[in-house]
Amino acid sequence: MPLTRIGFIGTGIMGRPMAHNLLKAGYPLTIHNRTRPRAQPLLSEGAGWADTPAETAQSSDVVITCVPDTPDVRQILMGKHGVIEAAKPGLICVDMSTISPAATKLMGAELAAKGVTLIDAPISGGEIGAIEGKLSIMMGGPKEAVEKVRPIMEVMGKAVTHCGPLAAGQMTKLANQVMVIHTIMSISEGFVFAERAGLDLQTTLDVTSAGAASSHSLRALGPKIIAGDFKPAFMVDLQMKDLRLVLEYADEVKQPLPGVALAKQLLAVLQAQGRGRDGTQALIDVIRQLGKKPS
């Protein structure tokens, strides 16, 4: 039986290594990206190129999207030269972006009218997880379609979970982002407290990583903070987008999230300072600034 033909749209920080792992696993891959040069490494590895999302869909059994925000996904799937224009009945679209649950449901209904199944499958694990094929993938959609694409997902992730019907993956990812931002906030506050107390940060990291405060975020971001490395594994701009989605949905279900609202305001300081493309570990600098004495 021939391998499933995959179309992959979005070759950014996360998408490029994910697509690379699919190529390495032997899947026939056609890629599309807004800017072709960013896709060149994958083309050099043997991926085919499509000029539009519609062209991507024409040569694929499964189309995967991994792009920044809801409008990007809608344009790719439903817009001019979008997937829907060329979609054949039986096509499965897997959106691995983090976007609005409500928009996911609407697009799913529009695609279903064409005989196309939409699965939402947002991801967690950062750039390292994408490179190592160890992402957590949260899937929402019909069980039969989810099981069809599970072998593909398992190339990119170590934890592939069917969370429920369409949009359940997105809602699970938003819950994940609530927990992640609180962890980054606690790391920032803990490190700044240690600095002001005159402690050695490496020693502090070694001790806390071995105890109850340990977390993936602490182990991954702690060394970067100590080194003054603010290159993004996950950008402030993208975290702000995710927290906007969290608060929109929290408002819809009438659930106050005061900690998320505070974290979003603090991250907004970084955006105002022109640091939206820094990694989320840059939040520590905002906490540092709060403790500075007026000059």
Give me the residue label for tokens 């969290």: 246
Q: How far apart are CA 260 and CA 266, in angstroms?
A: 10
Q: What topology is assigned to 6-165 in CATH?
A: Rossmann fold (3.40.50)
Summarised one tens digit per residue, pLDDT across range 138-170 is: 999 999 999 999 999 999 999 999 999 999 999
Residue 2: band (very low, low, confident or very high) from pLDDT cuts 50, 70, 90 = low
Helix orientation angle between 258-272 and 236-252, rounded to the nearest 10 degrees: 150
Asked whether residue 43 carries a pLDDT value surpassing 60, the answer given is yes
Summarised one tens digit per residue, pLDDT across range 261-272 is: 999 999 999 999
- What are the extents of the domains in the chain? 6-165, 171-290
Q: Which CATH number fits domain 171-290: 2.130.10.10, 1.10.1040.10, 3.40.640.10, 1.10.240.10?
A: 1.10.1040.10
Question: CA 180: distance to chain centroid?
Answer: 12
Give me the residue label for tokens 């997902």: 153
- What's the one-letter identity of residue 70? T
Summarised one tens digit per residue, pLDDT across range 220-229 is: 999 999 999 9
Q: How far apart are CA 243 and CA 249, in angstroms?
A: 10
Cβ atoms of 178 and 257 within 8 Å: the answer is yes
Look up residue 259 and give its DSSP letter. H
Look up residue 235 and give its DSSP letter. B
Residue 112: band (very low, low, confident or very high) from pLDDT cuts 50, 70, 90 = very high
Annotated active-site positions, please?
A: 173
Look up residue 249 and give its DSSP letter. H
Across the range 232-248, mean pLDDT stands at 96
Q: How far apart are CA 256 and CA 259, in angstroms?
A: 9
Cβ atoms of 98 and 175 within 8 Å: the answer is no
Say if strands 29-32 and 157-164 run parallel, antiparallel, or are unpaired.
Answer: unpaired
Summarised one tens digit per residue, pLDDT across range 195-230 is: 999 999 999 999 999 999 999 999 999 999 999 999
The mean pLDDT of the chain is 96
Cβ atoms of 63 and 74 within 8 Å: the answer is no
Across the range 284-292, mean pLDDT stands at 96
Residue 294, pLDDT score: 77
Judged by DSSP in three states, 243 sits in helix
Strands (E), the chain: 6-9, 29-32, 48-49, 62-65, 92-95, 117-120, 123-124, 135-140, 157-164
Q: How far apart are CA 182 and CA 91, in angstroms?
A: 38
Residue 1, pLDDT score: 41
DSSP string, 105-118: HHHHHHHHTTT-EE
